[in-house]
């Protein structure tokens, strides 16, 4: 249908939506952790265990995205929840605090 209607550019979005629906139906929680460098397998296991604990689900998929602009630390997203423990975020908080006091 997508090919017939010349909408093949939408194929990746359709596939992503299908995967999201499948994961939801199967009870799989998808967590994304953004780091400045790739996670080691040991650290990935620890993050996975923490996400399982936080979500109460044994079915967890962890995606590691690399973003050097966060400098260090991590940003963890699970569903609508985001925990930002990045160095860039902490610098931003310091900058706001200094701006308030001046």
pLDDT at 4: 87
Q: What number of other Cβ atoms are within 10 A of residue 94's Cβ?
A: 10
Residue 69 tokens, joined: 């602009």
All residues at 6 or more sequence positions from 64 whose CB lies less than 8 Å from its CB, including other chains: 32, 33, 34, 35, 38, 39, 44
Mean pLDDT to the nearest integer, 75-84? 95
pLDDT greater than 80 at residue 15: yes
Q: Is 90 exceeded by the pLDDT of residue 7?
A: no
Angle of CA points 71, 30, 48, to nearest 5°: 65
Mean pLDDT value across residues 1-10: 86
pLDDT digits (tens, 9 = 90+) for 18-68: 999 999 999 999 999 999 999 999 999 999 999 999 999 999 999 999 999
pLDDT attached to residue 6: 86
């Amino acid at each position: 249908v997508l090919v017939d209607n010349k909408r093949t550019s939408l194929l990746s979005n359709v596939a992503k939506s299908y995967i999201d629906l499948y994961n939801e139906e199967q009870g799989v929680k998808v967590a994304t952790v953004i780091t400045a460098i790739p996670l080691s397998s040991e650290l990935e296991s620890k993050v996975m265990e923490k996400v399982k604990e936080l979500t109460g689900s044994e079915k967890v998929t962890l995606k590691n995205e690399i973003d050097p602009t966060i400098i260090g630390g991590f940003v963890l997203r699970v569903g609508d929840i985001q925990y930002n423990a990045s160095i860039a975020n902490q610098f931003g908080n310091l900058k706001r605090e200094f701006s308030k006091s001046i």
